[in-house]
Amino acid sequence: MPKVLIVEDEEPISLLLKYNLEAEGYSVEVCGRGDDAELLLRESVPDLLLLDWMLPGLSGIELCRRLRMREETERLPVIMLTARGEEAERIRGLSTGADDYVVKPFSVPELMARVRAILRRASPEVVSTTLRSGDIELDRETHRVRRNALEIHLGPTEFRLLEFLMTSPGRVFSREQLLDGVWGHDVYVDERTVDVHVGRLRKALNKGRAKDPIRTVRGAGYAFNDQFAMA
Ligand code: CA
């Protein structure tokens, strides 16, 4: 299980990140101060650090600079989070040794994709790129989906939808939660769009006599039925 440390003083943001990372199977720790984070990182080094720029105690930039000077953390993957979008600040952030840079407000699916990409590069052994359930196999790296060893062709939205549902098998998501998780917070899409894409995903997945792995929960939303293979 890859370990992620979030250093962020804005609780709504750290909670949102923690929730989404845990849903993807990461082990997450949260710290609200730069100086506390420095102490934590002396005790144990995670697989990835999500680091806010403006922090009480010690700034994210200064913490990142210090981490790069210590042998134990010089190669620790760091994604900087910041409200500053100016090009000069961006360059300053990267020049202190951050591996990537995300400007708030960010899209959660995009940030998750960057976390995966960086972890795959830095520690491929801790990141599994394949999700499996029953006869369905989804490779997050190559974006390939197979069912019963046959390739299934999905559009990009259907792929992300299936990926999202498969990361939390059994859990029922409302249309609104699916919109946030798959399309992102900052995108305005009608909730009926979710139904349209679920319909397309089903059509692609359930050719012939295959069992439907997606469960419609009346009045609630949709879930990936992790029992479907045994039914
Ligand atoms: Ca902050």
What are the CB-based long-range contacts (under 8 Å, 24+) for 88-92? 92/61
* Contact between residue 133 and residue 213 where contact means Cβ atoms under 8 Å apart: yes
Ligand 1 center–CA 8 separation, angstroms? 6
The residue behind tokens 């439907």 is 212
Write out the chain's pLDDT in tens, 231 residues: 889 999 999 999 999 999 999 888 899 999 999 999 999 999 999 999 999 988 999 999 999 999 999 999 999 999 999 876 666 666 676 777 888 888 888 889 889 989 988 988 887 766 667 888 888 999 987 899 999 889 999 999 999 999 999 988 888 999 999 998 898 877 778 889 999 999 999 999 988 767 899 999 999 999 998 776 554
CATH number corresponding to 130-230: 1.10.10.10
Ligand 1 center–CA 231 separation, angstroms? 48
Ligand 1 center–CA 105 separation, angstroms? 12
Structure confidence at residue 229 (pLDDT): 56
* Contact between residue 107 and residue 184 where contact means Cβ atoms under 8 Å apart: yes
Domain extents in the chain: 3-126, 130-230
CA distance readout (Å), 191 to 60, 68, 185: 38, 45, 13
The residue behind tokens 């407000």 is 105
Structure confidence at residue 231 (pLDDT): 43
What is the domain class of 3-126 according to CATH?
alpha beta
Structure confidence at residue 87 (pLDDT): 64
Q: What pairs with residue 100 in β-bridges?
A: 79
Structure confidence at residue 55 (pLDDT): 94
Does the pTM surpass 0.85? The reply is no
| Closest-CA residue to 37 (of 22, 19, 57) | 57
pLDDT digits 0-9 by tens, 83-93:
766 666 666 76
Instruction: Report how far residue 67's alpha carbon sits from residue 136's, in angstroms, rounded to the nearest whole number.
Output: 41
Ligand 1 center–CA 151 separation, angstroms? 44
Ligand 1 center–CA 94 separation, angstroms? 18
pLDDT digits 0-9 by tens, 198-224:
999 999 998 876 789 999 999 999 999
Ligand 1 center–CA 65 separation, angstroms? 17
The residue behind tokens 């020049």 is 95
Ligand 1 center–CA 93 separation, angstroms? 14
Range list of H helices, 96-225 = 108-122, 156-167, 175-178, 192-205
Looking at residue 152, the DSSP 8-state letter turns out to be E
